[in-house]
Structure 1
């Protein structure tokens, strides 16, 4: 299962498949630390028991039903301050494939995949390693609910729940890796304006007045953009433009 990919340039030529593991990101980071990592290497697991999400959350996945994998990339052509462009590139690539099945799918800042009014389809967690001011590797962890139909908590959904179909995980994996590679090559070529424009085009709650929480206070705000450093640009009711980093603002339903 999950054979080396023939239709890619560098992604998926070194695949580590594990029937079970605690976190594919942790395994991939260990490979990086042990100098056993190659750009394009992938760690994929049939049952991830302690997957990591944003804000320190756990990502729970039913065995053999979903896609949980991590990709090792070397974006050393980018400055550390520009790392959110990698986030946007990965988000765009995954969303574009999933949107073929779920036309209403959105990206919720910074990198959740959300079906508005229904629930979360998946998420992305990028963990970077640096040497001084130089970028060594980026480990891109991806979790997608595909065939799982029963969830213990939260408001998740899956491709199967939304479409009523069962999906071939290996075929979907190949589609995703191919598109992610195309997006990364676009990033290498400096097509950053196009990447950011696409990300904003599918951003959840863009230009809509909604409720948020920050610094212990609730307020009405409107997302108007993303800074080059990846901070969320929110216009409040007083007309002030406020910038928020990860974990500094919460979306209220």
Structure 2
């Protein structure tokens, strides 16, 4: 059972734990729409039967081995054009929280958590509601492979393989939520440049030449992101391109 967090101001003051849930994001969004949860509420499941990834992908996770949860935010201070900063502050929080356990991880644009050698350990799903040019609410789903040892996909791994020991799910959950809250306060205070700089420092393959495809294979390097979150890529030919999500993919 996950308890109310004592080391935060508002995140995790309501923690709704379910042994089994179809999707924490769907449940959190339904509860948000019906007024049953407030900002900072968290829905966490021991097992998701229909976990959601980005753009309709499925997030598969073994029961009680990993972290699968969704948190509710009401960032009404944030302009719609700046909503990618939610992505930035959450991604950075996860990477930096796990760094305190000597686990070296990076953010693969836009919101996957990767090892330095290119294996995926987690992902984030954002479902934002825009009203009058502002982000009126957001449900943020986080899936993190912690103690699971075997996967269907070769590119997937977990923290247990990195740390060489089983980890305490509740401890990691608390570390991440505490760091998210700190970053959220910075976001609310307008510290966009600081958060963006930290995101870039944590970015997988930044300023490294690698093989990509945007319909045609090419050699390129990531050189930054725009304020809207588009990827800035320099091709070997010297041409710069801007890519939205799913418009370019890394070829390992």
TM-score by length of 1: 0.96
Quote the RMSD (CA, aligned, Å). 1.3
Unaligned 5+ segments in structure 2 are none
Deviation at 1:220, TM superposition (A): 1.0
Deviation at 1:170, TM superposition (A): 1.1
What is residue 128 of structure 1 aligned with on the other side? 128
User: How many angstroms apart in 2 are the aligned matches of 1:57 and 1:154?
Assistant: 17
Unaligned 5+ segments in structure 1 are none
User: How many angstroms apart in 2 are the aligned matches of 1:85 and 1:27?
Assistant: 24
What is residue 238 of structure 1 aligned with on the other side? 237
Residues paired across the two proteins, number: 252
User: How many angstroms apart in 1 are the aligned matches of 2:146 and 2:139?
Assistant: 22
CA shift digits 1:121-173 (9 cap, x unpaired): 10111111123433221111000011111112242111111111111111211
- Do 1:5 and 1:12's aligned partners in 2 also have CA atoms closer than 8 Å? yes
What is residue 107 of structure 1 aligned with on the other side? 107
What is residue 4 of structure 2 aligned with on the other side? 4
In structure 1, the residue corresponding to 2:220 is in which secondary structure? strand
Q: Which runs of 4+ in 1 moved over 6 A?
A: none
Deviation at 1:54, TM superposition (A): 2.1
In structure 2, the residue corresponding to 1:152 is in which secondary structure? coil
What is residue 15 of structure 2 aligned with on the other side? 15
Deviation at 1:22, TM superposition (A): 1.3
User: How many angstroms apart in 2 are the aligned matches of 1:154 and 1:52?
Assistant: 20
User: How many angstroms apart in 2 are the aligned matches of 1:251 and 1:196?
Assistant: 22
Deviation at 1:118, TM superposition (A): 5.0
